[in-house]
Amino acid sequence: MRVRVLGCAGGIGGRDLRTTSLLVDHDVLIDAGTGLAELSLNELVQINHVFITHSHLDHICCLPFLADSAGALREQPIVVHALPQTIEALRTHVFNNVIWPDFEVIPTRSRPFVTFKSIGIDEPIVLDGRSIVPLPAEHIVPAVGYEVRSAAGNSLVFSGDTGPNPGLWTRVNAMPKVKGLIIETAFCNREMELAVISRHLCPSMLTDELKQLEREVPIFITHLKPGEFELTMEEVLEAAKRWTPRMLANGHVFEL
């Protein structure tokens, strides 16, 4: 299984800054931020499943464009997997015929471009031997992270947007083979108050989280804010140097 990073920044501002989107093999997407724009139309048409972490714009903004661009070129609808609250938010605020057409009934109810399926924490979705497992996240809106597990049993863990999250570590520590952990650190330490209010992490908070990790796992930092990449990573490396974290970058590929 191959996971390719299409976008991993906490904002936009140049070609290298794309918001969250991960492509699993050629047909599964985790989040649909602006990183999705990296794909060609042919690649977009091959996406059969989209797993959304939560309803915030930087994680769903290209989902409407995916439906519009690829829907008519596909034989089956794109299946969007998300928490029930996230699905309700997408229906109410995006696919509502005001912000964007309702592609659950376009072109017809019997042959829509998009269909939604609810997910639950710890309930795996198995796709051709691969498992996508929703993990708990602690965010300002209902949210999840994901474990992506290959047929060989190797896992990549994505925290999604989250503040302090004991439930994540309970699950990661119990996984047999974790090949990487992608975890957000959205703010630098001087913005710790904002991180707490918005339920994100800053470097000092990240360190407290990693102390709950009971195994050696490659750590990759995501969701850094534009203009604060260098400062935040300096603070991450100072505070969490025991774990030798690396900054995630567009184009990074995980082989599982």
Task: Determine the pLDDT at residue 51.
Answer: 98
- List, for residues 59-94, the tens digit of each pLDDT value: 999 999 999 999 999 999 999 999 999 999 999 999
Question: What single-letter amino acid sits at 61?
Answer: C
The position carrying tokens 């009934």 is 105
37, burial (CB in 10 Å: exposed 0-12, middle 13-18, buried 19+): middle
**Nearest to 77, CA basis, from 29, 112, 121:** 112
Task: Determine the pLDDT at residue 188.
Answer: 97
pLDDT < 50 stretches in the chain: none
- Contacts of residues 19-24 at CB distance under 8 Å and 24 or more positions apart, as own/partner, are 19/58, 19/59, 19/61, 20/53, 20/58, 20/59, 20/222, 20/223, 21/62, 22/158, 23/47, 24/130, 24/132, 24/148
CA dist., res. 94 & res. 55, Å (int): 10
User: At 116, is the secondary structure helix, strand, or coil?
Assistant: strand
174, burial (CB in 10 Å: exposed 0-12, middle 13-18, buried 19+): exposed
Tokens of 8: 């991993």
Task: Determine the pLDDT at residue 249.
Answer: 95
Task: Determine the pLDDT at residue 14.
Answer: 76
8 A C-beta contact, residue 115 and residue 141: no
58, burial (CB in 10 Å: exposed 0-12, middle 13-18, buried 19+): buried
Q: Is the peptide bond before 226 cis (omega within 30 degrees of 0)?
A: no
Task: Determine the pLDDT at residue 15.
Answer: 73
Strand partners, 147: 133, 157
